[in-house]
Structure 1
């Protein structure tokens, strides 16, 4: 892979799970942050931004979508710069859910995750244009992983902020398919849209920025075809991702707590129902956690699971 060269006005804070990457764009007029990480990392997000801005105020927050790992730092950033005029732009399709703080629609409770309530000052829809870091950006719809998700594309430096629509090795869970809604077709269309753009560098929601976009697209197309061939694969992947995400937050989980999560968290419940009848969920959890233990993602205990020491 060739060396990644980014505009001088753009800085990427590559975050480990649980947080998405944060992209800081600074010019003479505005300091903007794209995506703000998870709630438990919010203080660290504030510290990173403060250090990078060296006394300058943050002017704008942009959220590509409102999964908890992309907007969980919003509230603390808003509190930190409460005396300033801090603009917060969210996807237009999510406006009502945020205004009413509908946690079911926002998926926080549905995925057994948390997000402190935040406000917003404006919205972004596909087709909009904005200037961040002295660079002109086009807003592109990116349904698939999340119906409301957006990407930001800068034609002149040929940079794509892809959120979870394209990673170097895949893309985010196709959540709509878990609840019987269309998501695979939308993800296919998003990949097709990216393929038509002139992109030199992708800044994904997770992982390092990368070039080699054509190869990444081919891997993504291959993975999507594999998931579409058997939708249970998407459900199984979703449960594994959500279990590990929660485990990284709380460090240990008893099997009884995992079973309660399947019952109470609507997205996890829907995924489990695609894989097994409810009476078989204890066995399903042991199967999934066993596979995750073999991959090194967690450690099995007699009564539950714990995060491996390597990510403590």
Structure 2
């Protein structure tokens, strides 16, 4: 793991759960992002580890963005620690009207527990934690309302899903010019301008090769920019394996029926592919097995990556 000051602790999770970042100080510890709702007990256990919070209290929970793998544990963390929650200001409409979250999660087969927030933060604002100032910067693309947090002292960036060591969070398919790709590129430009020494991503280990990561992310976005069919196929695979992580896998005999029951697959096919979704579940399993992302045994398909 890339070197970090002792006041910055990271619980590296998998792909169903984002990483948890604990920013420690005598003034009160701050947590960035809370993981997926189905894994809330595991998240709380990780937070209680000596290398994270241990037996200490938590002063505040701050979210980079409001996707289910970043806010799913918010309610559980608030119950356990009695801490206030801060969300990106532009995410307020989707949290104030929780039915928006419910419709979206039903659309893609995900889940997040409702929660109450007490404060908001916007790009251009900042907060203090781990004995340093953290600037909020816009991180659009994967989530158009998302933020990332940068500490000039030490050059530490908490990037959310705007940048990982090997890419970034998926962007939505769209006919060219793709506004989600263009927004994600703007976020990468911001990161390049900030020149962080180390990046703590939403998924994966913290890393120092920021230039290499930016090059990989830009290459991936270039491949998607003018090819909505490719982007739609990629989205289907990402969402399928994500749902299989929280479901624990799927019987091969049920794969097609499952895909037919989740609206996003039909919509993506009708808008960008035009192939029909008959047999799509089996095709997704086969593609993911070839890529090493799923393993099939005894008539059951399971993701190979950690939750």
Report the secondary structure of 2:3's partner residue.
coil
Identify if the C-alpha distance between structure 1 residues 287 and 262 changes in structure 2 by more than 3 Å, giving closer, same or farther: closer
Q: Is the CA contact (8 Å cut-off) linking 1:67 and 1:106 kept in structure 2?
A: no
CA distance in 2 between counterparts of 1:177 and 1:29 reads 45
CA distance in 2 between counterparts of 1:301 and 1:42 reads 29
Counterparts of 1:1-312 in structure 2 under 5 Å?
4-51=2-49, 52-82=52-82, 86-104=83-101, 107-175=104-172, 177=174, 182-254=179-251, 258-259=255-256, 262-263=259-260, 265-277=262-274, 280-300=276-296, 305-307=300-302
- Give the TM-score normalised by the residue count of structure 2: 0.90
Q: Note the C-alpha offset of 1:210.
A: 0.3
Q: Note the C-alpha offset of 1:23.
A: 0.2
Runs of 4+ in structure 1 deviating by more than 6 angstroms, as ranges, are none
Q: Note the C-alpha offset of 1:217.
A: 0.8
CA distance in 1 between counterparts of 2:178 and 2:98 reads 22
Render the CA deviation track for 1:197-220: whole Å, top value 9, x for unaligned: 121101101000001111111111
Report the secondary structure of 2:163's partner residue.
coil
CA distance in 1 between counterparts of 2:301 and 2:132 reads 44
CA distance in 1 between counterparts of 2:267 and 2:296 reads 25
CA distance in 1 between counterparts of 2:56 and 2:227 reads 50
CA distance in 2 between counterparts of 1:275 and 1:241 reads 16
Q: Note the C-alpha offset of 1:132.
A: 1.2
Identify if the C-alpha distance between structure 1 residues 274 and 299 changes in structure 2 by more than 3 Å, giving closer, same or farther: farther
CA distance in 1 between counterparts of 2:226 and 2:172 reads 16
Identify if the C-alpha distance between structure 1 residues 105 and 149 changes in structure 2 by more than 3 Å, giving closer, same or farther: farther
Q: Is the CA contact (8 Å cut-off) linking 2:173 and 2:231 kept in structure 1?
A: no
CA distance in 1 between counterparts of 2:262 and 2:151 reads 37
Say what the alpha-carbon RMSD is for the aligned residues: 2.4
User: Which shifted more, 145-154 or 255-264?
Assistant: 255-264
Q: Note the C-alpha offset of 1:8.
A: 1.4
Unaligned 5+ segments in structure 2 are none
Q: Note the C-alpha offset of 1:254.
A: 4.4
Q: Is the CA contact (8 Å cut-off) linking 1:145 and 1:176 kept in structure 2?
A: no
User: Which shifted more, 47-56 or 201-210?
Assistant: 47-56
CA distance in 2 between counterparts of 1:286 and 1:252 reads 13
Report the secondary structure of 2:184's partner residue.
helix
Q: Is the CA contact (8 Å cut-off) linking 2:258 and 2:281 kept in structure 1?
A: no
- Give the TM-score normalised by the residue count of structure 1: 0.89
Q: Note the C-alpha offset of 1:192.
A: 1.2
Report the secondary structure of 1:107's partner residue.
helix
How many aligned positions are there?
A: 304
Identify if the C-alpha distance between structure 1 residues 133 and 106 changes in structure 2 by more than 3 Å, giving closer, same or farther: farther
Identify if the C-alpha distance between structure 1 residues 104 and 71 changes in structure 2 by more than 3 Å, giving closer, same or farther: closer
Unaligned 5+ segments in structure 1 are none
